[in-house]
Amino acid sequence: MSERLIHKQADLQGLSTAILLPSVDLFGAPVRNALSPLTQVVGIGLFQRTVLTLQRAGIRQLIVLAGSDEEQLKQALGRGPRITIPVRWMPIREFPLDDPRTWEALAAEVRGFCLLSGVAGVFSRSLIEQLRQDIQQGQAIVVAHKTVRHDIAPHPAGFSRLSLATGVVEIADLVVLPAALLGAAGRSANEAGTIPIRPWLEGAAADGRLRVLSTGSNPSHWYQDLRDIGDLRTAERKLFASLKSDFEGIVDRYFNRGLSRRFTRVFLAIGLSPNSVTMLATMVGLAAAAGFGLGTYAAGRASALLFQLAAVIYCSDGEVARLTFTESAFGAWLDIVMDNVVHMAIFGGIAMGAYARAADTPSAWMPLALGAAAIVGNVLSFVLVSKAQRIKAASRWRMPTHAAWSDFMLKNVASRDFTVVVLFFAILGKLDWFLWIAAAGSIVFAAVMLWVVRPSAVTRA
């Protein structure tokens, strides 16, 4: 059997289909939250965000059991980022959830497992990816927030509670069911006259066929139900907290990110695209470089602050892209290229400013030589870092140690942390000292990256 066919069959038998219930929760109760599936959550409607998150997590097929707002939901999916997975619409008026034939029709559309989800919460992509990894033959999975006492009454909205042998758990509107059991669930609905999910889950729990994935076991596996404005604010905080870049340094992580999120909210509110934010940061960075070229102490301090502001805005472009699902290969390339253009302009501006201050001295040529060395080192570093990223994407490192060296250099050295160093020397009035560090550092970094991506470290494609 070919490897391609094996992967295709494995995908069909896995968790590749999601069934969405925008109008009711998984146990059939109408959603009475103050927020609707069209409520904006950080620039994206709640229903659209749910679909895009499932798509990014590897779901390949979507079935929507829609109510009276079907047309509005369709229009919402037609705006913004492209939905690339097939979406089948099944109106509840034609496919009642308490009709066993509805569940038999759903079972015919699913191979392997299906994800049943409401649209009254925001969840992480990694949570869905974990559910896809945890599937086991014949078992259902529920996502639980916490275990509570048996004597506590059910929550009025948002959460549903399920009795298990270990206690009562609050479960999110996310349930994984084996496709083979959807038809059986439908037959039980005909007997009870209700949506079959709760009795089926309770029966599966009694038979030992129910697994619980706790959101508290991993911070990245978060779920936030939305009942009111307070929950919406909490969900937005969780979304912002989940943002990070693969190559951010300490300054980005603990300082720039705190400021960039404020800018990101403004950029989302006025509708700026990620690439527009990148170009805005570039203009601020180039203005800082021009200010350094003046060579005065006041201009140096102001330019160092502008450079730090550019670094903050550069964090925002990626945040806008990830929050609105508008990441692109061109956007990533533009971000890296413009970042390096600004760095080279900064080196050149500081060199010109230092030259202006020392124009009448015999060593006036030194700042220009150091600036040129820093620029050349930056160009070489950019080329070698791009090559290392291509090697990593193609999984062509010969040994794990080579990959580890590359990751170490990219995550700990190739960052914007030196903006703080520039600010420090600007305050001291010693920007010419920074030129020595920039020239030596960029050349050394390029030399190390050249060693990392040497031919002996890379396998042939």
pLDDT in tens, 303-352: 999 999 999 998 899 899 999 998 888 988 898 889 899 999 999 999 99
Confidence of residue 154 (pLDDT cuts 50, 70, 90): very low
Identify the bridge partners of residue 148 per DSSP, sorted by sequence position.
168
Q: Are 145 and 215 in contact (CB under 8 A)?
A: yes
Of 247-261, 287-301, 404-418, the poorest mean pLDDT is in 404-418
Q: Which of 67-76, 103-112, 241-250, 258-267 has the lowest mean pLDDT?
A: 241-250
- Measured CA to CA, the distance from residue 6 to residue 150 in angstroms comes to 46
Residue 103: is its pLDDT beyond 90? no
Residue 67 has pLDDT above 60, yes or no: yes
- Which amino acid type is present at position 255? F
d(CA 266, CA 313): 11
| Predicted confidence (pLDDT) at residue 9 exceeds the cutoff of 50 | no
Q: Is the CATH number of domain 3-236 3.90.340.10?
A: no
How does residue 251 score in pLDDT terms, banded at 50, 70 and 90? confident
pLDDT at residue 423, as a whole number: 92
| pLDDT for 419 beyond 80 | yes
Q: What is the pLDDT of residue 122?
A: 92
Q: Are 23 and 118 in contact (CB under 8 A)?
A: no
How would residue 86 be classed by pLDDT, with cut points 50, 70 and 90? very high
pLDDT tens for residues 10-58?
344 688 999 998 887 777 666 666 678 888 898 888 999 999 999 999 9
User: What is the CB neighbour count within 10 angstroms for residue 380?
Assistant: 17
Query: In this structure, what token pair is assigned to residue 413?
Result: 């050295």
57: buried, middle or exposed (CB in 10 Å: 19+, 13-18, 0-12)?
A: buried
pLDDT value, residue 13:
61
pLDDT of residue 120: 85
Confidence of residue 188 (pLDDT cuts 50, 70, 90): low
What gap in Å lies between CA 108 and CA 103, rounded to an integer? 9
CA distances, 280 to each of 221, 275, 276, 310, 311 (Å): 34, 9, 6, 8, 11
Give residue 106's pLDDT band: very low, low, confident or very high (50, 70, 90): confident
Structure tokens at 164: 């298990």
Nearest to 316 by CA among 259, 233, 270: 259
Architecture, CATH, for domain 244-457: Up-down Bundle (1.20)
- Rounded Cα–Cα distance for residues 67 and 221 (Å): 29
pLDDT of res. 396? 83
Q: What are the DSSP calls for 149-165, one per residue? A: -TTSPPPSSS-EEEEET
Task: Tell me the two tokens of residue 180.
Answer: 């083979």
Mean pLDDT value across residues 437-446: 92
The pLDDT assigned to 155 comes to 45
Q: Where are the domains of the chain?
A: 3-236, 244-457
Q: For 89-115, what is the mean pLDDT?
A: 86
- The mean pLDDT of the chain is 83
**What is the token pair recorded at 441?**
């550092």
What's residue 369's pLDDT?
94
Q: How distant, in Å, are the alpha carbons of 164, 204, 217, 263, 265 from that of 208?
A: 10, 6, 21, 50, 46
> pLDDT value at position 158?
41
Residues 6+ positions from 458 with CB-CB distance below 8 Å? 391, 396, 397, 398, 402
**Structure tokens given for 294:** 């003046």
Q: Where does the pLDDT of residue 2 fall: very low under 50, low under 70, confident under 90, or very high at 90 and above?
A: very low
What are the contacts of 6-13 at 24+ separation with CB within 8 A?
11/60, 12/111, 12/112, 13/111, 13/112
